[in-house]
Amino acid sequence: MTVPLTLLGLLEREPSHGYELKRDYDAYFGRGRPLPFGQVYATLSRLARDGKVVISDVGKGDGPDRKRYIITDVGATEVDAWLTEPVEPEPHLQTILFSKVVLALMLGRPAEEYLDTQRRAHMQRMRELTEIRRSGGMVDALLADHGLFHLEADLRWIDLTAARLDTLAKEIRR
């Protein structure tokens, strides 16, 4: 997810100050990775420079001036184009999991131990996501489901690869 397009989308919903955008971004999209204030304001500055947002008014506050941002037609057009474009389908054919298994086999290291360790890490994350799904609202549940489905696919791959390690090792060593 790109921060600039997400902030533009939030601005299309309603004009906002930077701190409001950060709050909403963190609430819906940050999930454990809050957006730094510096990134919010640097992004808004670039969007203004590129004609995608304008400052509607500047209010005095206890600290720096409070700028209210409004999306322009150019910014709204970009959000519309982004929302209608499909996301690049995953998975990519070269993943870190795959690379580690192949390298472990090439180097004569215990690939099966790596797969077991990875399986345990996936299971732990699945327990965490299941708790988020159980205790959160609909947004949390949908995000958790997305992660769980990806982890389930990884686990199926881990099990299949573990069953084929001998064959894969022979092919790699040829």
Q: What is the pLDDT of residues 58-68, one digit of tens each?
A: 766 665 568 89
pLDDT at 93: 61
Q: Are residues 33 and 56 in the same domain?
A: yes
Per-chain mean pLDDT for the chain: 89
Give 43-84 pLDDT, tens digit per residue: 999 999 999 999 987 766 665 568 899 999 999 999 999 988
Is residue 173 over pLDDT 90?
A: no
Same domain assignment for residues 113 and 60? no
Residue 90 lies inside a defined structural domain of this protein: no
Which phi and psi (to 5°) does residue 77 adopt? -65, -40
Q: Which domain holds residue 33?
A: 3-84
CATH number for the domain spanning 24: value is: 1.10.10.10
Query: Does residue 15 sit in the same domain as residue 68?
Result: yes
Whether 89 is in a domain gets the answer: no
Q: What is the pTM of this model?
A: 0.70
Q: What is the pLDDT of residue 129?
A: 96
DSSP for 43-67, written as a single string: HHHHHHHTTSEEEEEEE--SSS-EE
* 26 found inside a domain: yes
